[in-house]
Amino acid sequence: MAQDTHVLDRPPEGASADWTIPQNWQAYTAEEHATWDILFERQAKLLPGRASGAFLKGLDALRLSESGIPNFEELSERLMKLTGWQVVAVPGLVPDEVFFDHMANRRFVAGNFIRRPDQLDYLQEPDVFHDVFGHVPMLADPVFADYLEAYGRGGVRAIELGALKQLGRLYWYTVEFGLVQEAEGLRIYGAGIVSSSAESRFALDDPSPNRIGFDLARVMRTEYRIDDFQQNYFVIPSFDELLRVTIETDFAPLYEEILPLPDIPVAEILPGDAVITQGTQEYARSRP
């Protein structure tokens, strides 16, 4: 089932107009199921005490500990009962408008391919492990499920207003690389962290990155790197607060305010930031 690339400019043969394809679960090889099991076992041992309570609860509720790559039909049946979401297979990265439409209708798009055994520690394109293990447990949480639906509804408007880059940063710094303050301390919930053994440690333990209190306008002005650990992590006080801010904010005047402003470089601290941890940036200085 592995392919060389999953970045496409049109639906491939056999895909629906909305880019969905059959998961073709029966075609996975024993090696591919074993790759999932290796990745799952590694993260399952690492995440207690690191991942948010909502993520760990979702992991159990969806029975993702069962061996092998999950069957999307069975997974969607469990998820629908909890929050009305379902998981649909796509051949790779889909156009923005397709992505937003699925999300606004509580359909989470997931790649149906899995990385090779020699790619366990890093894969630039999201595969089924990143998409399902990383994202889907949070969709079992009713509040976060509502947040993602609201985000999807806002996507088309962002395209119309020329603010797709700004809205994309909100997704990056919450859904992919977000931290949350819980009673026991900082916890990870972003899929890019919880699906990565190395970044699960780095995001909480390393002295290098900044950890900054979440501010919507600040987040949407902040650049990020896609090819390395983050040097800024934004910390929400709760998922309820993230949803409240998203729903209650009129994004049109916010875009009008921030679009003329310069982007904020990676790792920069601003005078008004609520700094939880000011990083040493030692890791960033060691990289090209």
Contact 33, 69 (CB under 8 A): yes
Segment 105-145, tens digit of pLDDT: 999 999 999 988 877 777 667 899 999 999 999 999 999 99
In a domain, 3, yes or no: no
In a domain, 18, yes or no: no
CATH number at residue 261: 1.10.800.10
Domain containing 167 equals: 25-285
pLDDT of residue 2: 37
In a domain, 20, yes or no: no
CA–CA gap between residue 127 and residue 131 (Å, rounded): 6
Segment 192-244, tens digit of pLDDT: 999 999 999 999 999 999 999 999 999 999 999 888 999 999 999 999 999 99
Assign 6 a pLDDT band (cuts: 50, 70, 90): low
In a domain, 7, yes or no: no
How many whole angstroms from its chain centre is CA 166? Answer: 16
Total tally of structural domains belonging to the chain: 1
Residue stretches of the annotated binding site for Fe cation: 130, 135, 176
In a domain, 15, yes or no: no
| Residue listed under structure tokens 């998922």 | 239
> What average pLDDT does the structure give for the chain?
93
In a domain, 227, yes or no: yes
Segment 153-202, tens digit of pLDDT: 999 899 999 999 999 999 999 999 999 999 999 999 999 999 999 999 99
pLDDT of residue 117: 82
Contact 226, 234 (CB under 8 A): no
In a domain, 12, yes or no: no
pLDDT of residue 1: 38
Rounded to 10 degrees, what is the CA torsion of 232, 276, 236, 40? 60
pLDDT of residue 288: 67
Residue stretches of the annotated binding site: 130, 135, 176
For residue 262, what are its two tokens?
Answer: 């310069």
Least confident residue range of 4-13, 15-24, 118-127, 177-186: 4-13
In a domain, 55, yes or no: yes
Q: Is the pLDDT of residue 69 over 80?
A: yes
Indicate the pTM of the whole model. 0.93
